[in-house]
Amino acid sequence: MARITVEDALKEAKNRFALVLLASNRAKQLLKGAKPLVESNNREIVTALREIAAGKVTYAHPEYLVNTKDNFRQIEDHTEFIDDDDDTE
């Protein structure tokens, strides 16, 4: 089986930073039990790089998502802020 290189995966990713994020996220999915999209007997990170190089895994940029605005739902924020204005003199 041919060796996978970062350069092979870089052809599909926009840049090295995007590749690192994409590969690490996909490797975590594989570690949690996701089914590999390519045949590989390697560790999860290598399998993730093989999937990226094969064009099977890409990152979804928000402007390319279908119905993003229609399906968007605001997440409720229950954060409480402590007000220190009462203690100032």
Q: What pLDDT score was predicted for residue 20?
A: 92
pTM flag (> 0.85):
no
The C-alpha atoms of residue 68 and residue 54 are separated, in whole angstroms, by 27
Q: What pLDDT score was predicted for residue 12?
A: 85
Q: What pLDDT score was predicted for residue 40?
A: 87
Domain map (residue ranges) of the chain: 6-76
Topology of 6-76 in CATH?
Eukaryotic RPB6 RNA polymerase subunit (3.90.940)
Q: Name residues of the chain where pLDDT drops below 70.
A: 1-2, 61-89
Please check whether residue 49 is in contact with residue 9, taking contact to mean a CB–CB distance below 8 angstroms: yes
Rg (CA), the chain: 20
Q: What pLDDT score was predicted for residue 69?
A: 57
